[in-house]
């Protein structure tokens, strides 16, 4: 029999707040005004772009968290991952002393890794006549740098690696760690995702795809205009239920279902069947019926392509229950944090289960007659929740759905 | 020579909290808190600053050089600067 996997710690940093408490406050704030977490870009001069907005982490001063020597080795994305992981570890109240250090793992997802390092180093090399990039360029930009830094910080000597599957990266990180926990390879995992790619070169490239909004992120709203890139990190401490109970840890939720699928279709266009397959696989893994899911934290990127495929996939899978379950996208609150998205949205989903309150799709202005699920719009709602699903559907058709269970008696 | 040493000390200052004016010829970098990773950066800085190329460790070791202390670095950099000119 599979071991039960529980969440005992959470931490995050994003445009929606620099810690879990601030994130929770932003998540459950309701308004018909546009969410101000998405704002004009300050990290570079965007004047030559047609997109001038992003979901940046605010009031962030690296030297308040790291010393000079550490910062030389840490890209912004790894800084965020260390900050979120420290909060999650403290939240879990766990210490990785021997022998637990060898029975623990770190799996962190990132779509790109050290984008800021890549751009700075190669701009200096190609454009500013610098003879070569700094020797720490490589260890800083690696998509696995964050997982390495976390394992070093806590002395975790079990498996440590990165997952990279575009916008599903941290969903796959959670899935990989959960599978290791279920298999009995490890007892505790630090999992999550991190991204920090609000850079001029990256935005130039994204603009070419014609999916960025210069309005704001309005998932499922008839006047949607595309996605808004965000930055940040989310980390969770996962444990086998047995291990958590042995140390009397506070359990925040149970991870009961993992579903993964590939569209095998197109490098950017999503496919309804792939999304449906991931959700269906998660239900099968959790041994749940469609009617038992109360809430879906949708991928909800704010593009017409996603709104269409995700809505149709939910209808196709949930059929007569599709209109009964609640759906929202929290990307209007924290932006599209790419490789960190699934981790941050898992935290949003768990907070919803804990609070018995559903975060809204902010920035919603008008219903689209084509896509008419039971979306929660602009204001959170309070309801009874047992099971909630979090979806991540990435470029290249790499899909991941996770199902969390409420552990508190209702 | 002294000028090169002064310039090297200014570079090393970035990597150690120790008062480098008190550094003796025998003090190893490890003893003043400069680890192998910092040494990679120091080599990079020296190459940039003096416009020299410090060869791979095996090559300069074969020529009798090492980079474990201040005097050894001064010796190597001086030699490379002379070769350049």
pLDDT in tens, A90-134: 999 999 999 999 999 999 999 999 999 999 999 999 998 888 999
Q: Do A72 and B40 touch (CB under 8 A)?
A: no
Q: Which pLDDT belongs to residue A1?
A: 46
DSSP 3-state of A104:
strand
- Determine whether A334 is an active site residue: no
Distance from CA of A67 to the nearest CA of B (A): 12
ipTM, 2 dp = 0.78
Query: Is A400 among the residues known to form the active site?
Result: no
Per-domain boundaries in chain B: 2-13+27-84
Separation CA A217–CA A400 (nearest Å): 22
Q: In this structure, which CATH number among 1.10.1200, 3.40.50, 1.10.3470, 1.25.40 belongs to the domain B2-13+27-84?
A: 1.10.1200
Q: Rounded to an integer, what distance in angstroms lies between the CA atom of residue A69 and that of residue A279?
A: 44
pTM: 0.94
The pLDDT score that the predictor gives to residue A410 is: 47
**Cβ contacts of residue A185 below 8 Å, gap of 6+?**
A105, A158, A159
The two three-digit tokens of residue A325, written as one number: 């379950």
> When comparing pLDDT for A53 and A370, which is higher?
A53
CB contact under 8 A, B48 and A131: yes
Which of A35, A167, A217, A400 is catalytic? The answer is A167
> Which is the catalytic residue, given A105, A334, A336, A400?
A336
Q: Per-residue pLDDT tens for A177-212?
A: 999 999 999 999 999 999 999 999 999 999 999 999
Is A210 in the B-facing interface, judged by CB distances under 8 Å?
A: no
Based on the residue annotation, tell me whether A167 is a catalytic residue of this protein.
yes
Contacts of B40 in chain A (CB under 8 A): 135-136
Helix (H) or strand (E) holding A149: helix A145-154
C-alpha distance from A123 to closest chain B C-alpha (Å): 17
Residues contacting residue A252 through CB under 8 Å, at least 6 positions apart = A6, A7, A8, A9, A10, A350, A354, A407
A134 touches chain B (CB under 8 A): yes
Size of interface A-B (CB pairs under 8 A): 11
Which residue in the list A243, A252, A299, A334 is annotated as catalytic?
Answer: A299
Q: Is A390 helix (H, G, I), strand (E, B) or coil?
A: strand
């Amino acid at each position: 029999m599979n071991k039960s996997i529980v969440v005992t710690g959470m931490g995050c940093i994003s445009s929606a707040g620099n810690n879990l408490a601030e994130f929770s406050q932003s998540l459950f704030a309701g308004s018909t005004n546009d969410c101000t977490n998405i704002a004009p870009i300050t990290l570079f001069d965007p004047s030559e772009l047609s997109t001038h907005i992003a979901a940046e982490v605010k009031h962030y001063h690296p030297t308040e968290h790291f010393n000079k020597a550490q910062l030389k080795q840490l890209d912004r994305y790894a800084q965020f991952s260390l900050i979120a992981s420290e909060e999650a570890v403290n939240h879990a109240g766990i210490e990785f002393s021997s022998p637990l250090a060898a029975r623990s793992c770190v799996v962190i997802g990132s779509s790109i890794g050290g984008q800021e390092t890549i751009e700075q180093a190669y701009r200096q090399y190609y454009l500013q006549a610098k003879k070569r990039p700094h020797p720490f360029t490589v260890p800083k930009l690696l998509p696995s740098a964050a997982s390495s830094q976390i394992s070093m910080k806590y002395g975790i000597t079990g498996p440590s690696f990165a997952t990279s599957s575009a916008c599903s990266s941290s969903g796959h990180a959670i899935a990989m760690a959960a599978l290791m926990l279920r298999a009995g390879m490890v007892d505790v995992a630090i999992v999550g995702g991190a991204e920090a790619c609000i850079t001029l070169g990256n935005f130039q490239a994204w603009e070419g795809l014609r999916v960025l909004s210069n309005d704001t992120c309005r998932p499922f709203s008839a006047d949607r205009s595309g996605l808004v890139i965000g930055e940040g990190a989310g980390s969770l401490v996962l444990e086998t239920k047995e291990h958590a109970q042995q140390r009397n840890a506070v359990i925040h939720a149970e991870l009961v279902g993992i579903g993964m699928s590939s569209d095998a279709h197109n490098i950017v266009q999503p496919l309804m069947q792939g999304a449906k397959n991931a959700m269906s696989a998660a239900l099968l893994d959790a041994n749940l019926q469609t009617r038992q899911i109360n809430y879906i934290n949708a991928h909800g990127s704010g593009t017409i392509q996603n709104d269409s495929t995700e809505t149709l996939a939910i209808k196709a899978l949930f059929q007569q229950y599709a209109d009964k379950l609640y759906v929202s996208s929290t990307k209007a609150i924290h932006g599209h944090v790419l490789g960190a998205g699934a981790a941050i949205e898992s935290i949003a989903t768990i907070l919803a289960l804990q609070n018995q309150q559903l975060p809204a799709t902010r920035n919603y202005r008008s219903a689209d007659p084509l896509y008419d699920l039971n979306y929660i719009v602009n204001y959170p709602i309070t309801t009874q929740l047992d099971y909630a699903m979090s979806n991540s559907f990435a470029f290249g058709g790499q899909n991941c759905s996770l199902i969390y269970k409420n552990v508190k008696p209702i | 020579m002294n000028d090169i040493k002064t310039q090297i000390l200014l570079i090393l200052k970035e990597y150690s909290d120790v008062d480098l004016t008190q550094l003796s010829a025998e003090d190893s970098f490890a003893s003043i808190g400069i680890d192998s990773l910092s040494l990679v950066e120091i080599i990079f800085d020296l190459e940039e600053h003096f416009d020299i190329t410090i060869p791979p460790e095996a090559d300069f070791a074969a020529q009798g050089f090492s980079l474990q202390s201040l005097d050894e670095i001064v010796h190597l950099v001086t030699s490379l600067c002379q070769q350049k000119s």
